Structure 1
Amino acid sequence: MSTRILVLYYSRHGSTQALARQIARGINSVSDCEALLRTVPDIPPSTEQHSDPYLTLDELKDCDGLAMGSPVWFGNMAAPLKHFWDTTTPLWVSGALIDRPACVFASSSSLHGGQESTLQSMQLPLLHHGMLIVGIPYSEPALHTTQTGGTPYGASHLSGTPGQMSQEEKTLAQQLGCRLATLSARLKNYQCD
């Protein structure tokens, strides 16, 4: 059975979705690992079609790892994503996500628009669920050269030009996905005595 890793994101203009797809490429590069791209509905609900299905609590409960991404909204995650996490109390009560690896990613329209504070705030519900946070270590060379996005807290993207992503941003996102997949596969069958 393959290791199933959710790539959950909310994207209004496509930049966070593009970053999610790079994370998924990194996940899929690891043998026997599968990325499942999912999103959350708008608030208020809209009739706009999304290219990926909405995440269900059952899918979240059954995942082996999670990558979560959001656009930067005033230094925090987008409201639709926060709203989704506010519905996960049953999983928190049961401990369903304890010891599952997770990482975060974000996109912003300005370099100092709050990428790092958004990444850190997105980690809070994951920590409350007992998940294990995966970041990008400084052993990754692109972390030293990027001038647009990418932090030790997670992958990020400066969305100055729609549809454009720097090579460093792509590399960091793919490496984060690869690292998440590798750790998820290793921990999938591990149990404490």
Structure 2
Amino acid sequence: MILEAEGVPFDENGRARKSHRLSAVDLSVLVGKEIPEESLPATVARSSEEARASGAARFEALLRENQTPEVVEGVLAVLRFWEEQGGHQVYGKGEETSCFPTVDAGGTNASRALWPIAIYPASGTVEVVFQYLKRRPPFDDEPLRRALMERFNAVDGIDLAEARLDLRPSFPLEAFAAHGEDIRAVLEWFVHEVALAEARRPFDEDSAQAVF
């Protein structure tokens, strides 16, 4: 079969593995009909402390209601690690309060938010947001996005399809319980790449601000 030859895995019923299927949203992105940038919650600057605390409480409550204690601790440990790396969390405002581990780059006057994943506590999935990263330096560079995918795929239990490199492939939240340390290593690499790219950016001598 052509698809198998191209690396698409199938289950015992002859169906493509879920992680390798394209949804209607995926197809719309591929033909150029993407979600408007302004609709993304993590593009907004840091929320107020009160709003962040409220979002964190809703997220953790959903996490504890829907996941095992091992998964809960795995997720929270990764988020604590993210903050230790200088990042912060942004929370969605939908019925299922999602979490976007976010790092700010670009300086005060040209700040932009980057987030590698979106965590959904009730449905138990984690999206790797290549769709949004491809518009955000340094991950607008395809080889760097591919390197991120390869690092995630090296973690047991994660299988991101090559065909979804410009989309938002997902993996189960259970990976945080069994392989939290490996996921932390991927996120540490992500933050390092952002910091390295910022250090290499040229500066405008007149304004002393990084040129974006």
So what's the TM-score if we normalise by structure 2? Answer: 0.37
| More strand as a share of residues | 1
Between 1 and 2, higher relative CO (CA 8 Å, sep ≥ 6) is seen in 1
Larger Rg: 2
